[in-house]
């Protein structure tokens, strides 16, 4: 591979080769990362990257759109089939773009959004004050009633909704290890005349594979998502609307021309390929195994008396309080494990007293190792190796064991 790149730009070639070696010899546990198939990579590297396609299928501003229209329609139809949606916009360049596009389509400046508190598992794009979007719209927040069990304070959520009268009630997360009560949230939203919107970026693949509930089945109006993470596609975003054509039209207009210019057609082609992969029966097995592997890792941490936010996991990720349990910061843990060949990320925990760049917790999950064929026993072994490194602070001793595990489960080129 990369024969032309190697001849033309050896520096970039070397960096890519180094990254491929790092991924092959180590274990990726960042919950928002995964591996794509060779087919998805080929679509990403196709001649579609040469083509401008401003607009939507059948309504483009440039000529020469016969094949781009086909590709985008493939992606739209497959996405709708995966999630039971009436409408799909597959043009967002990422999850943040998808959320912002949905806001622009559904809100006017100054309108209120009720979303999850960042420190309780939400996401920056759900209205954190550091984001520009928080200068445009008014964000109010809800969170967990009990950090140890992960129970959301639904009564407080409902009271806030009745007081603030938001235009959107937003459910979804980036660091919450449990399932939400989608019906309760949808009922609260509709009770105050709000749109029920779910950001399922982390669990989209689990929803598509049937191991997590689909918010559309419980009355949600809009879903936003990334197309990587558990969905195992290229880096990108997507917005789905259950049935309301008025919302779909407003969101389409907000994405283009409101937010983005020409869509990245090579990326959309790769999304279409990934969606077809996710429609295969084997993807359901994958989604089930992701959750089973995460539960197996949580068992090991529980047996070792390491505190986990919400007490464990019901999905693909775990949030562990290493500062409270092991006396080291999340940043120290991330660095140590990186040296051992295990990649995860430091993460704030609920009511964290430490700074965001060196918080109390670590966040890790199983989408990528499950793609490599890891079983529950393999996942327990990974958890034990993690704890060995963290308790002894000796990365070198575990490095060869981790490399051997990685070599036992090479990164696949296809998922058939």
Domain ranges of the chain: 41-278, 282-408
Distance CA 266, CA 374 (A): 31
Give the 3-state secondary structure of residue 27. strand
- Written out in words, the top-level CATH class of the domain with range 282-408 is alpha beta
* Chain center to CA of 240: 15
Cα-Cα-Cα-Cα torsion 102, 107, 111, 117, nearest 10 degrees, comes to -10
pLDDT at res. 1: 82
The residues that are catalytic are: 52, 54, 199, 226, 229, 235
| Cis, peptide link before residue 188, omega less than 30° from 0 | no
Nearest CA among 122, 343, 89, 317 for reference residue 206? 317
Phi then psi for 121, rounded to 5 degrees? 120, -5
Distance CA 402, CA 388 (A): 12
Q: In the beta sheet, which residues pair with residue 222?
A: 197, 241
pLDDT at res. 118: 83
Asked whether the beta carbons of 287 and 208 are under 8 A apart, the reply is yes
Asked whether the beta carbons of 293 and 366 are under 8 A apart, the reply is yes
Looking only at the bridges linking them, the beta strands covering 138-142 and 112-116 are parallel
Distance CA 385, CA 387 (A): 5
Nearest CA among 178, 168, 108 for reference residue 136? 108
Nearest CA among 179, 176, 244, 234 for reference residue 207? 179
Asked whether the beta carbons of 238 and 92 are under 8 A apart, the reply is yes
pTM over 0.85: yes
Q: Which two tokens stand for residue 362?
A: 């670590």
Q: What is the pLDDT along the chain (416 residues), one digit of tens a residue?
A: 899 999 999 999 999 999 999 999 999 999 999 999 999 999 999 999 999 999 999 999 999 999 999 999 999 999 999 999 999 999 999 999 999 999 999 999 999 999 998 888 889 889 888 999 999 999 999 999 999 999 999 999 999 999 999 999 999 988 999 999 999 999 999 999 999 999 999 999 999 999 999 999 999 999 999 999 999 999 999 999 999 999 999 999 999 999 999 999 999 999 999 999 999 999 999 999 999 999 999 999 999 999 999 999 999 999 999 999 999 999 999 999 999 999 999 999 998 999 989 999 999 999 999 999 999 999 999 999 999 999 999 999 999 999 999 999 999 999 96
Give the count of beta carbons closer than 10 Å to the beta carbon of residue 316: 27
41-278 has which CATH code?
A: 3.40.640.10
Q: Which two tokens stand for residue 216?
A: 């559309």
What is the rounded radius of gyration, in angstroms, for the C-alpha atoms of the chain?
21
Asked whether the beta carbons of 92 and 236 are under 8 A apart, the reply is yes
* Chain center to CA of 206: 10
* pLDDT 10s digits, 326-368: 999 999 999 999 999 999 999 999 989 999 899 999 999 999 9
Q: In the beta sheet, which residues pair with residue 168?
A: 113, 195
Cα-Cα-Cα-Cα torsion 406, 407, 408, 413, nearest 10 degrees, comes to 90
């Amino acid at each position: 591979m990369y024969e032309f790149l190697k001849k033309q730009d050896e520096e970039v070639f070397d960096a890519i080769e180094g990254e491929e070696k790092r991924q092959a010899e180590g274990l990726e546990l960042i919950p928002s990362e995964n591996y794509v198939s060779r087919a998805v990579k080929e679509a990403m590297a196709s001649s579609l990257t040469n083509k401008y396609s401003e607009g939507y299928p059948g309504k483009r501003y440039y000529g020469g759109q016969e094949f781009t229209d086909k590709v985008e329609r493939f992606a739209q139809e497959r996405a709708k089939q995966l999630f039971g949606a009436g409408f799909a916009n597959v043009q967002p360049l990422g999850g943040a773009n998808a959320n912002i596009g949905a806001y622009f389509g559904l809100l006017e400046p100054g309108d209120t959004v009720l979303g999850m508190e960042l420190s309780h598992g939400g996401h920056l794009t759900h209205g954190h004050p550091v984001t520009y979007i928080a200068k445009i719209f008014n964000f109010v927040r809800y969170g967990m009633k009990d950090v140890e069990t992960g129970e959301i304070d639904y009564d407080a959520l409902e009271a806030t909704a009745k007081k603030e009268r938001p235009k959107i009630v937003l459910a979804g997360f980036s660091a919450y290890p449990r399932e939400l009560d989608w019906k309760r949230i949808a009922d609260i939203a509709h009770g105050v005349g709000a749109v029920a919107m779910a950001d399922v970026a982390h669990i989209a693949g689990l929803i598509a594979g049937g191991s997590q509930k689909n918010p559309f089945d419980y009355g949600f109006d809009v879903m936003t998502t990334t197309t990587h993470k558990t969905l195992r596609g290229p880096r990108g975003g997507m917005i789905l609307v259950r049935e309301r054509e008025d919302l779909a039209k407003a969101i389409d207009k907000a994405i283009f021309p409101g937010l983005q210019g020409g869509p990245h057609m090579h990326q959309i082609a790769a999304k279409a390929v990934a969606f077809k992969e996710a429609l295969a029966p084997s993807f359901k097995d994958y989604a089930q195994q992701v959750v089973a592997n995460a539960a197996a890792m949580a068992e090991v941490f529980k047996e070792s008396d390491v505190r986990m936010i919400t007490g464990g996991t019901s999905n693909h990720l775990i949030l562990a309080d290493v500062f409270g349990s092991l006396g080291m910061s999340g940043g120290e843990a991330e660095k140590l494990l990186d040296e051992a060949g295990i990649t995860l990320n430091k993460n704030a925990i609920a009511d964290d007293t430490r700074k965001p760049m060196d918080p109390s917790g670590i966040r890790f999950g199983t989408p990528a190792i499950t793609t490599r064929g890891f079983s529950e026993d393999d996942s327990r072994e990974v958890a034990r190796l993690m704890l060995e490194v963290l308790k002894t602070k000796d990365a070198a001793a575990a490095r060869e064991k981790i490399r051997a595990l990685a070599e036992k489960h090479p990164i696949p080129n296809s998922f058939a």
